[in-house]
């Protein structure tokens, strides 16, 4: 073989052997170890010296010759000497190390990089075990002259791995043409391990023979000649150190057959290669002098063998190899042997089939030895290669998988960093668990769980170290989550007032299903343990209520229960709701996020033939017998908003019942298949209605049922705050005096009704005259009251966005309602009676009281509520505009909570401005009606 090849290519190539040496045995020599940062590998240079040929390049192979980043075994077979060389190159060599570093990307974390290096180290161990299973002699090359004690741990790991995979290797070699002992021990013999160290300029070999550096360890006279050179004494010291370490760790025992390798008892097994001379010119002159001296003494013609040996000696003295150097002592020292002489004494024992007798003790047992032929060795090497390194045959795939599975044995020996990290993280884990469970309630929310987990991770990070940090951090996450979810998880549902449910994780009962507390998880209703006091629709009865968790319980169910006890028989205006035409209606999908469409000015009325209109026909006014239906009211408000006169519609009180109702231009048929899951607001799709109305409009009686001097006679009001605000509305009636006058348009706007007791400039008979012909009944007094109610049931009326009604003497409220009607009234204001706590207590706008006087006057009610800062939508009833007839007292109950399709609009927090939660101005506007001409 002229050039070295990789092991895989060597085993798959055809066997070409000299017929003369076909039956002779082959000595297998394995070389492994580490290399320093130098151009050429010392292991490859050794083969150049031993084979007396330029086989390996001094500056390493190119990338085209070696494409692998892991461990590589190269093979060179010298048929002349019958020695087969196996050279292992791994990440412990500079060339492979640089390639492995290049393969690692910059973003690889510490744990991933550690896994990569440990994988490369495991591959290196498997390649080493392959060498220990096939070689007779192993050569460990080290770049320094000190022993690396990590080899002790490596050899113990290899010995443990060999004992694990030995049954699998026996099954692999059962059909090979080798002896029974080889099949049983899975190796030709216990390999003999030799050590080759390189001098790293810490010890110079001088020709004077004096050990002035003290390397011999003796304290005598340094001028006294020594028997051995300093290099020889260093080799003896290293042999004693290595043997002592391996015997102490039981890598070497008395019986060599039970060991991973052996060392000779009576032969040298350590060789130190001298370093280069400091003066290169002196080294060249010394070699020239030596060569000339040899040639002068050599007078006879050398034999072919001697010539070849002398050529080998001359080539070995070249400084580029730096492999061996002989020193002839003039003081009686023994001559240091060369590397080939050191190695060949062991190779000769193999080739002569004497074997190794390295067992020691009183009863040494002889170890088996076999010198295979070239062809037999290749067969055994191929089968071991299939199960230990690269598998390409299906029949051995199962054994190869089992062998690779045994690599976990190496973790306890080689991965000291991981073992230390495991111990540290295992000790830190209970401390982190204690930090997580400290000061915990029995049931807690996700926020508390995350906060406690962050605290546990901080404690864990203070104590945990190493590559196992991330793995045990994930385990800490899982353990804390398991503890939380195992009976400690609090229900995550929040009420419409932004309070958590106090129950642990549970299920809601289905329709008709009873609560089951013993079920896992339990079946029960939500409860935040929050209770408040609220009034009914009309405000005449108060009752406690639970904190609601759904919109129906907040805005409908509670008031329906009180309605049966209080205001069930009162006249009311029903708002249109969803009327299903199918047995299983579906909720409408939530609209896509986008700019909300402003439909608050659009009047929505149900179809005249719908059942909503029919249900409202039986609601008649007791005093006047006038029926108020959503269709009638909306048609009137639409006509007034379009600028039509009241004459085109006829008198509201006399001819409204008999006239045929005209269909509105903006009337639309509502969906009977899909309903609105939340409340009606400005961002809802057109044509959808909820299943129930969150608003209520109830008639308390005629206008005279309110006494301005006594105020509202309802429970819960603070003293002096139950008086409605007067609102003087200008009305105009046609008379004989202003028939010839110029009639001003009556459009219901603010310009058509000036402030009371103010003269209006006009033209009557000529310019500059004031019209003084107004009648006393041109001004009608209505009453309006914005009622706020807090959670304790305390109620009060507000006269302005920042002012509470407070009447101390008789006569009722003096401040007019103009300021309140022309401003955006807040939806929440601080309660006048704050509690003892630091947290502010808010009162919510709950009702709007309206007293329409007995006059030709109608009030158009159009409430619009924005319960949050933009882009919060504007909420309004299902009928945006309602006309309130004369001589009536009404109360509009606003929703308790506001909910959209995407969730509830929670009440304001302490740091949120209250001005963003408001009721838009224009909630009431007047509309006068004139009697027919006489």
Kindly tell me the sign of the dihedral angle through the C-alpha atoms of 861, 867, 869, 874: negative
Measured on CA atoms in the order 808, 811, 813, 815, is the torsion positive or negative?
Answer: negative
Instruction: Please name which of 858, 873, 787, 860 lies closest in space to residue 825, comparing C-alpha atoms.
Output: 787
- Quick one: average pLDDT of 154-164? 91
Main-chain phi, psi angles of 325, to 5 degrees:
-155, 130
333 vs 292, more confident: 292
pLDDT of residue 564: 87
How long, in residues, is the chain?
A: 934
- Mind listing the pLDDT tens digit for each residue in 202-242? 555 444 444 444 444 444 445 555 677 788 888 999 999 99
Q: Exposure string (b/e) for 139-166, b if CB count within 10 Å is 16 or more?
A: bbbbbebebeeebbebbbbbbebbebbe
Which of the residue ranges 32-46, 410-424, 600-614, 731-745 would you say has the lowest mean pLDDT?
A: 600-614
Return the pLDDT at 929: 56
Q: What percent of the chain has pLDDT over 70?
A: 74
Whole-number pLDDT of residue 703: 92
**Beta bridge partner(s), residue 544:** 533
Burial track 170-205 (b if 16+ CB lie within 10 A, e otherwise): eebbeebebeeebbebbbbbbbbbbbbbbbeeebeb
At residue 316 the predicted structure's pLDDT band, cuts being 50, 70 and 90, is very low
Alpha carbons 636 and 882: distance in angstroms, whole number: 9
Q: Is the pLDDT of residue 669 over 60?
A: yes
Q: How far is 740 from 742, CA to CA, in rounded Å?
A: 7
- Structure-model confidence comparison of residues 838 and 526, the more confident one: 526
Mean pLDDT of the chain: 77
Residue 621 above 50 pLDDT? no
Give the containing element (helix H, strand E) for 449: helix 446-463
pLDDT digits (tens, 9 = 90+) for 109-137: 777 777 788 888 888 889 999 999 999 99
Task: Write the DSSP string, 143-198.
Answer: SSSS--THHHHHHHHHHHHHHHHHHHHHHHSTTSSS-HHHHHHTSSS-PEEEEEEE
Round to whole Å and give the CA distance between 566 and 698: 12
Give the per-residue pLDDT at 9.
Answer: 86
User: Rounded mean pLDDT of 398-427?
Assistant: 85
Q: Report the predicted TM-score, pTM, of the whole model to 2 decimal places.
A: 0.57
Alpha helix segments (H runs only) across 617-764? 630-641, 646-649
The 10 Å Cβ neighbour count of residue 76 is 22
Helix (H) or strand (E) holding 858: strand 857-861
Give the pLDDT band of residue 827 (cuts 50, 70, 90). Answer: very high
* CB 342 within 8 Å of CB 232: no
Q: State the Cα–Cα distance between residues 799 and 796, nearest whole angstrom.
A: 10
Give the per-residue pLDDT at 118. 83
DSSP single-letter state for residue 405: H
User: Could you give the 3-state DSSP secondary structure of residue 406?
Assistant: helix
Residue 866's pLDDT is 94
Residue 265 per-residue DSSP state: S
- Kindly state the average pLDDT of the residues 489-499: 88
**Over 70: is that where the pLDDT of 841 sits?**
yes
What pLDDT is stored for residue 314 in this prediction? Answer: 46
Give pLDDT tens digits for 777-794: 588 899 999 999 998 899
| Mean pLDDT value of segment 254-264 | 89
Using the predicted structure, report yes or no on whether residue 461 has a pLDDT greater than 90: yes
pLDDT band at 321 (very low <50, low <70, confident <90, very high): very low
**Is residue 334 very low, low, confident or very high in pLDDT (cuts 50, 70, 90)?**
low
Position 453 scores a pLDDT of 95
**Is pLDDT of 543 > 90?**
yes
Question: Residue 763: pLDDT band by 50, 70, 90 thresholds?
Answer: very low
């Amino acid at each position: 073989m002229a050039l070295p090849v990789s092991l895989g290519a060597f085993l798959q190539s055809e066997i070409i052997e000299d017929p003369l040496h076909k039956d002779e045995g082959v000595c297998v020599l394995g070389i492994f170890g580490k290399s320093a940062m130098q151009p050429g590998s010392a292991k490859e240079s050794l083969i150049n010296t031993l084979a007396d040929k330029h086989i390996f390049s001094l500056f390493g192979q190119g990338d085209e010759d070696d494409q692998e980043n892991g461990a590589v075994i190269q093979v060179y077979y010298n048929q002349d000497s019958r020695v087969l060389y196996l050279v292992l190159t791994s990440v412990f060599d500079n060339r492979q190390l640089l390639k492995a570093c290049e393969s690692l990307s910059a973003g690889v974390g510490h744990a991933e990089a550690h896994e990569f290096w440990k994988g490369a180290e495991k591959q290196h161990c498997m390649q080493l075990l392959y060498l220990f299973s096939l070689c007779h002699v192993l050569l460990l090359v080290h770049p320094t002259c000190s022993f690396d004690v990590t080899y002790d741990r490596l050899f113990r790991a290899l010995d443990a791995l060999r004992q694990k995979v030995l049954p699998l290797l026996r099954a692999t070699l059962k059909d090979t043409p080798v002896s029974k002992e080889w099949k049983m021990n899975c190796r030709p013999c216990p390999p003999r391990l030799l050590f080759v160290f390189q001098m790293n300029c810490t010890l110079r070999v001088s020709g004077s023979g004096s050990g002035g550096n003290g390397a011999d360890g003796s304290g005598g006279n340094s001028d006294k000649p020594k028997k051995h050179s300093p290099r020889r004494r260093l080799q003896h010291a290293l042999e004693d150190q290595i043997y002592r370490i391996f015997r102490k760790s039981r890598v070497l025992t008395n019986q060599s057959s039970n060991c991973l390798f052996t060392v000779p008892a009576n032969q040298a097994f350590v060789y130190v290669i001298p370093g280069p001379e400091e003066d290169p010119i002196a080294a060249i002159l010394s070699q020239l002098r030596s060569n000339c001296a040899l040639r002068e003494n050599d007078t006879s013609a050398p034999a072919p063998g001697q010539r070849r040996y002398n050529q080998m000696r001359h080539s070995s003295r070249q400084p580029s190899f730096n492999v061996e150097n002989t020193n002839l002592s003039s003081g009686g020292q023994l001559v240091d042997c060369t590397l080939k002489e050191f190695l060949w004494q062991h190779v000769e024992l193999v080739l002569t089939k004497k074997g190794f007798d390295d067992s020691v003790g009183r009863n040494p047992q002889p170890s088996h030895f076999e010198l295979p032929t070239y062809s037999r060795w290749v067969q055994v090497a191929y089968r071991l290669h299939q199960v230990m390194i690269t598998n390409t045959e299906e029949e051995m795939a199962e054994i190869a998988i089992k062998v690779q599975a045994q690599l976990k044995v190496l973790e306890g020996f080689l991965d000291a960093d991981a073992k230390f990290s495991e111990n540290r993280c295992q000790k830190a884990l209970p401390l982190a668990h204690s930090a997580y469970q400290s000061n915990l309630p029995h049931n807690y929310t996700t926020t508390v769980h995350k906060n406690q987990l962050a605290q546990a991770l901080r404690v864990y990070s203070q104590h945990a170290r190493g590559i196992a940090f991330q793995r045990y951090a994930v385990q800490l996450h899982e353990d804390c989550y398991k503890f939380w979810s195992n009976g400690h998880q609090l229900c995550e549902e929040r009420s419409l007032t932004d309070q958590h449910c106090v129950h642990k994780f549970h299920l809601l009962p289905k329709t008709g299903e009873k609560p089951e507390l013993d079920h896992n998880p339990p079946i029960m209703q939500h409860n935040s343990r929050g209770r408040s006091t609220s009034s009914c629709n009309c405000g005449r009865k108060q009752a406690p209520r639970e904190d609601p968790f759904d919109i129906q319980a907040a805005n409908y169910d509670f008031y329906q229960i009180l309605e049966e006890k209080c205001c069930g028989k009162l006249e009311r205006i029903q708002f249109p709701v969803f009327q299903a035409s199918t047995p299983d209606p579906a909720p409408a999908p939530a609209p896509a996020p986008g700019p909300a469409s402003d439909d608050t000015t659009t009047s929505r009325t149900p179809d005249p033939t719908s059942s909503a209109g029919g249900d409202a026909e039986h609601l008649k006014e007791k005093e006047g017998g006038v029926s108020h239906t959503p269709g009638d009211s909306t048609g009137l408000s639409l006509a007034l908003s379009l600028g039509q006169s009241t004459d085109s519609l006829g008198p509201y009180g006399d001819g409204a019942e008999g006239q045929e109702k005209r269909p509105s231009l903006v009337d639309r048929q509502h969906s009977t298949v899909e309903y609105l899951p939340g409340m009606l607001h400005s961002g809802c799709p057109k044509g959808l209605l909820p299943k129930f109305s969150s608003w209520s409009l109830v008639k308390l009686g005629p206008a005279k049922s309110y006494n301005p001097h006594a105020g509202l006679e309802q429970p819960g009001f603070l003293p002096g705050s139950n008086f409605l605000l007067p609102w003087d509305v200008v009305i105009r009636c046609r008379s004989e005096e202003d028939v010839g006058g110029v009639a001003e348009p009556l459009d219901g706007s603010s310009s058509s009704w000036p402030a009371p007791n103010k003269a209006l400039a006009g033209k009557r008979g000529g310019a500059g005259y004031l019209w003084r012909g107004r009648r006393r009944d041109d001004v009608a007094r209505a009453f309006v009251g914005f009622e706020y109610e807090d959670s304790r049931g305390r109620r009060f009326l507000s006269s302005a966005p920042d002012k509470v009604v407070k009447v101390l003497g008789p006569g009722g409220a003096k401040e007019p309602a103009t300021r309140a009607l022309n401003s955006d009234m807040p939806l929440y204001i601080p309660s006048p009676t704050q509690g003892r706590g630091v947290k502010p207590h808010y009162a919510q706008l709950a009702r709007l009281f309206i007293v329409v006087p007995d006059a030709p006057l109608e009030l158009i009610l159009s409430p619009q509520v924005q319960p949050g800062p933009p882009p919060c939508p504007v909420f309004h009833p299902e009928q945006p505009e309602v006309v309130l007839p004369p001589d009536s007292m009404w109360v509009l109950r606003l929703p308790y909570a506001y909910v959209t399709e995407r969730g509830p609009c929670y009440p304001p927090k302490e740091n949120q401005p209250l001005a963003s939660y408001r009721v838009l101005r224009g909630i009431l506007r007047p509309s006068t009606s004139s009697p027919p001409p006489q």
